[in-house]
Structure 1
């Protein structure tokens, strides 16, 4: 099968238009159209339905587009590996992690990485959905559980727990919280137990709600829950890594916490030699070590 025709087909399928694909490929619309007709003839099938608003893939076209999309991602990965073996640390690095961890812990620390590698471009994708690393939806992932995908290099960074926090202003102006039953008389700020989150956090929230809690504020990520706690709206279920950067958080009910949640950094085996990945991995590990030291120092009385 002609690679050049496949490249043109992929551009047309991606753009949904012969004209837009031609602009991308620097070819005339007629040249693109001829290549598509030639490819359809060689395969003895129709790849596109033509209509006034553009092109729609046929079932056979969808199958071919899935294949060319996978090929394109593999070619991008190969190109990245070649560049990384010859160049300094620069270019785009796609990093995915959860909204909470990425917003509250990772993003505020990235200035240190940019100071060291000013030509690095981080594309930070924050969502609860697990992106497919081998298919290059992202280059590096920080996940709140061990990745199950094959062909990944993984590194356990730390363990976190979900705990109860409030501000001193809130504690001073509301009834005491000395035992678990006392939570019922306060507004509980948390994620809905059915929302996408780590299982340990959902289990803790379900346990707290079983204590006849009447007033709640549910938020679909920990960043929103943090803002509500800092605004003195109630007692929040938050990850313990926040205590370093938000010293105004006071832990409530020290004996109440979730199970341990492992935090893993992972990237595809094919990016083992990537200088960009190595730079990001080393940066995150250094920040984790600094985070642990700071927390340890806070626990040691002067």
Structure 2
């Protein structure tokens, strides 16, 4: 048996069926069906019970899935350790961050980094969810978090300050009775919806978003008032702060990598560079001033 057999069995078990497993592996479902049948024939055992709802692993299937997971972990660990041994800042570097950070904060810094390190090819992975750096879904992550995973290494660069913003015509109105726009329950564990529910008249939330991206544009368009990160809103001419910094909405801004990659030249170069960049932006990020570069 080869590694691909184990990968197929694990993918089928985790997906609960052939179609999604085949998509994940980049093969045709009929090919997956034939390969799985061949594996079971070679082992002389049934790895999955076929039900109308999907494929359920048998005891033998669970054993093989466990072996596949251990093998995948060894491969991922070897890949990280090998990547961590490079000494020159060249090659591919995958960076993950939420869309709002990449669009509004990172692009000028990435341009400066690219000019300084032309041998590094940057790959931006826009993701609101935290990607798995152990699987090398990305090499470096920029995350807003109160408690980053203990399995990663990095540094807290700043505290992201939030305040209530709106167009100037909302400045003299009772905030509780204003229409509100707010990130939805899926963002930051519902922190923003709880914040607004405690301050707004019932049914005054006119728009929720499942991401921070687009929130500022909604407030600028006059849909209502709402919480915004200070670095994103303070320099917008059509917006005014309607509150001080709201401490309960703040979160740390972390730059993180897997421990096996921290000695990689390109990862180290990026983390050191971004630490300097964020330090220059820190007053703006923490709501103290608008940084100019």
TM-score bracket for the superposition, by shorter chain length: 0.7 to 0.9
Residue 288 (str. 1) matches residue 278 (str. 2)? yes
Q: Which residue of 2 aligns with 1:97?
A: 97
Residue 80 of structure 2 contacts residue 260 of structure 2 at CA under 8 Å; is this kept in 1? no
- Aligned residue pairs: how many? 273
Distance 1:175 1:136, change over 3 A: closer
Larger Rg: 1
2:172 to 177, 183, 187: 177
Report the secondary structure of 1:93's partner residue: strand
1:168-207, Cα deviation, whole Å (9 max, x unpaired)? xx31xx35436xxx11443212123x33226653443222
1:187 to 165, 179, 185: 179
- 1:250-289 equivalences under 5 Å are 250-255=239-244, 257-259=246-248, 260-289=250-279
Structure 1 residue runs without a partner (length 5+): none
Distance 1:176 1:157, change over 3 A: closer
Report the secondary structure of 2:270's partner residue: helix
Q: Which residue of 2 aligns with 1:36?
A: 39
Residue 126 (str. 1) matches residue 117 (str. 2)? no
Residue 220 of structure 2 contacts residue 239 of structure 2 at CA under 8 Å; is this kept in 1? no
State TM-score, norm by structure 2: 0.72
Taking the aligned partners of 2:42 and 2:140, their CA distance within structure 1 comes to 36
Pairwise CA RMSD: 4.1
Taking the aligned partners of 1:293 and 1:175, their CA distance within structure 2 comes to 26
Residue 216 (str. 1) matches residue 216 (str. 2)? no
- 1:232-247 equivalences under 5 Å are 232-243=222-233, 246-247=235-236
Taking the aligned partners of 1:90 and 1:268, their CA distance within structure 2 comes to 18
Structure 2 residue runs without a partner (length 5+): 13-17
